């Protein structure tokens, strides 16, 4: 017991030390660029925006991993599918109010992607459900490549655009507070993430189905003996992950230029965020996502914009080397151990 607490305090000390070093480096580099508090706040806010998207995607990874043990690399495909489907729907010449059309496009993207998620589970995972987990993980890689290929066939290699939710145009409304600028789309993103988190918490804490999903992830065999069908739970986990990914892709779309290959980068970032959270913890995934978004954005800010993606993968490598259970850690299975 005492040894445990000592190793724990050592862990905390080393984490704090590492963070201090990191902050010192950032401040030093930022100082060289003449950054003041305003610049940092701006970088952090933009980082939180990107990070919120990673958090949504990471939640998709966590849900599937908890219920099935599979790391679903098709998750990025769902992000892309959501965004591209919404874009296509919004391009239709429908005789309705553009605001209405955009709202329908959002719903269309989420619903169709959810169905795609369910189909992916039924057509690729379910038939192979008795295979080792590694096989299933590789299947999801294949599914991702397949989805990206289909997307290239449908949409070609051109970037598309989805109008900002507030202005319904490419140009977004910008809110200025002090020297800090916040795009209206950022508010949409934060609000969406907040609503999704509340909905998820309600689902897992208050509904029987949510508890059945948790039961399945805590102890699959016992859940089976209660009459909970794990294959149906797996189907639901994939559908939920797809919906989460699609929502992420769609709210982000107006802030980027969606195209067929956007899923790879976002999927991997979501994976990094999930790993940071220990892979099994939903709060961990959210914290991991936001932290990743902030770190990479501040990191890119004080160095070069082109380095942004490098930071995510440096973090991934560091975590897998030193803290493979995640830096936030402790999900339901963790407690059981």
Nearer to other proteins, 128 or 141 (CB): 128
1 binds other proteins (CB under 8 A): no
Q: Are 323 and 77 in contact (CB under 8 A)?
A: no
Q: How far apart are CA 328 and CA 330, in angstroms?
A: 7
Q: Please, which residue, 86 or 236, has the CB nearer to other proteins?
A: 236
Q: Is the dihedral of CA 320, 321, 327, 330 positive or negative?
A: positive
Contacting other proteins (CB under 8 A), which of 29, 118, 173, 332? 332
Stretch that binds other proteins, among 146-154, 156-164, 209-217, 283-291 (CB under 8 A): 209-217
* 290 binding other proteins? (CB under 8 A): no
Identify which of residues 41 and 218 has a Cβ nearer to other proteins in the complex. 218
Q: Does 336 bind other proteins (CB under 8 A)?
A: yes
The stretch near other proteins (CB under 8 A) out of 43-51, 81-89, 188-196, 227-235 is 227-235
- Letters for 129-168 (x = contact with other proteins by CB under 8 A, - = none) are ----------------------------------------
Closer of 3 and 221 to other proteins (Cβ): 221
Instruction: With contacts defined by CB under 8 A, name the span among 127-135, 159-167, 223-231, 270-278 that binds other proteins.
Output: 223-231
Distance spanning both ends of the chain, measured CA to CA: 15
For residues 156 and 40, what is the distance between their CA atoms, to the nearest angstrom?
Answer: 38
* C-beta neighbour count of 317 within 10 angstroms: 10
Q: How many CA atoms lie within 13 A of 161 on its CB side?
A: 9
Piece of 35-43, 176-184, 219-227, 288-296 that binds other proteins (CB under 8 A): 219-227
DSSP single-letter state for residue 172: P
Q: Quick one: which of 68, 29, 1 has its CA closest to 301?
A: 29
Instruction: Using alpha carbons, select from 30, 132, 71 the residue that is nearest to residue 285.
Output: 71
User: DSSP states of 291-335 as a string?
Assistant: HHHHHHHHHHHHS-GGGHHHHHHHHHHHHHHH-TT-SS---HHHH
Cβ atoms of 187 and 45 closer than 8 Å: no
Sole binder of other proteins in the list 211, 257, 308, 325 (CB under 8 A): 211
The single residue listed with the structure tokens 């900002």 is 164
The smaller minimum CB distance to other proteins, of residues 29 and 228, is found at 228
H or E, element range at 247: helix 230-252
* 325 near other proteins, rule: CB under 8 A: no
User: Does 63 interact with other proteins (rule: CB under 8 A)?
Assistant: no
Binding other proteins (rule: CB under 8 A), the pick from 214, 251, 260, 262 is: 214
* Region from 74-82, 145-153, 226-234, 303-311 binding other proteins, contact rule CB under 8 A: 226-234
Which residues of the chain form contacts with other proteins (CB under 8 A)? 208, 211-212, 214-215, 218-219, 221-229, 332, 335-336
């Amino acid at each position: 017991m005492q040894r445990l607490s000592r190793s724990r305090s050592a862990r905390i000390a080393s984490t704090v030390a590492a963070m201090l070093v990191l902050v010192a480096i950032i401040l030093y580099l930022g100082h060289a660029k003449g950054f003041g508090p305003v610049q940092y706040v701006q970088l952090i806010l933009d980082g939180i925006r990107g990070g919120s998207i990673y958090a949504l995607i990471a939640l998709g990874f966590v849900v599937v991993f908890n219920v099935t043990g599979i790391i679903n690399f098709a998750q990025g495909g769902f992000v892309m599918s959501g965004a591209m489907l919404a874009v296509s729907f919004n391009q239709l010449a429908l005789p309705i109010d553009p605001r209405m059309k955009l709202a329908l496009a959002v719903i269309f993207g989420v619903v169709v992607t959810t169905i795609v998620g369910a189909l992916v589970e039924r057509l690729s995972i379910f038939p192979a459900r008795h295979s080792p987990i590694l096989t299933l993980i590789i299947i999801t890689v294949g599914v991702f490549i397949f989805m990206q290929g289909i997307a290239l066939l449908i949409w070609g290699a051109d970037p598309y655009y989805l109008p900002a939710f507030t202005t319904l145009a490419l140009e977004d409304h910008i809110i200025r507070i002090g020297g800090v600028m916040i795009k209206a789309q950022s508010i949409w993103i934060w609000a969406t993430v907040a609503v999704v988190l509340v909905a998820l918490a309600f689902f897992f804490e208050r509904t029987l189905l949510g508890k059945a999903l948790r039961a399945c992830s805590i102890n699959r065999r016992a859940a089976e003996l209660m009459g909970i069908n794990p294959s149906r739970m797996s189907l639901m986990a994939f559908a939920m992950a797809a919906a989460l990914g699609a929502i992420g892709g769609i709210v982000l779309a107006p802030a980027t230029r969606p195209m067929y290959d956007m899923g790879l980068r976002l999927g991997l970032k979501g994976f990094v965020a999930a790993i940071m959270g220990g892979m099994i913890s939903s709060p961990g995934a959210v914290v991991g996502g936001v932290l990743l978004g902030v770190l990479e954005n501040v990191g890119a800010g004080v160095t070069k914009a082109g380095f942004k993606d490098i930071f995510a993968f440096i973090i991934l490598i560091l975590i897998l080397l030193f803290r493979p259970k995640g830096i936030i850690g402790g999900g339901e299975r963790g407690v059981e151990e």
